[in-house]
Amino acid sequence: MADKQWPPEPWAIDDSEIVDSKDAHIVSGGAFEQCSCEIEKPTAARIIACVNACAGVPMEVLEHPSFHGMCKIVCEIAMVGKAAREAKEATDGTN
């Protein structure tokens, strides 16, 4: 099954709108109001980070349960690394 085409990455925040790499508006405040949902900048930033991190990954892979498990493991490793860096910085007195 061919992937549905979506706006090109990377996505970004432009004022209160999400835009693609060509500055085309993907979602704007008006669209959010029409769907009775509100999006705040932290939520938009999380959506954008996820989309950009998955650039080039086919939908059937993104939707597969084993991919979800792999992503969880990678995130756990990243959090351990972050904690180790923060602990080192605290003992070294560096930022």
pLDDT tens string 3-61: 557 888 999 988 778 888 998 888 765 544 455 456 677 888 888 898 998 898 888 89
Rounded CA gap, 70 and 33, in Å?
35
pTM: 0.60
- The tokens 């602990």 sit on which residue? 87
24's enclosing H/E stretch is none
Using an 8 Å Cβ cutoff, are 12 and 18 in contact? yes
Rounded CA gap, 53 and 46, in Å?
10
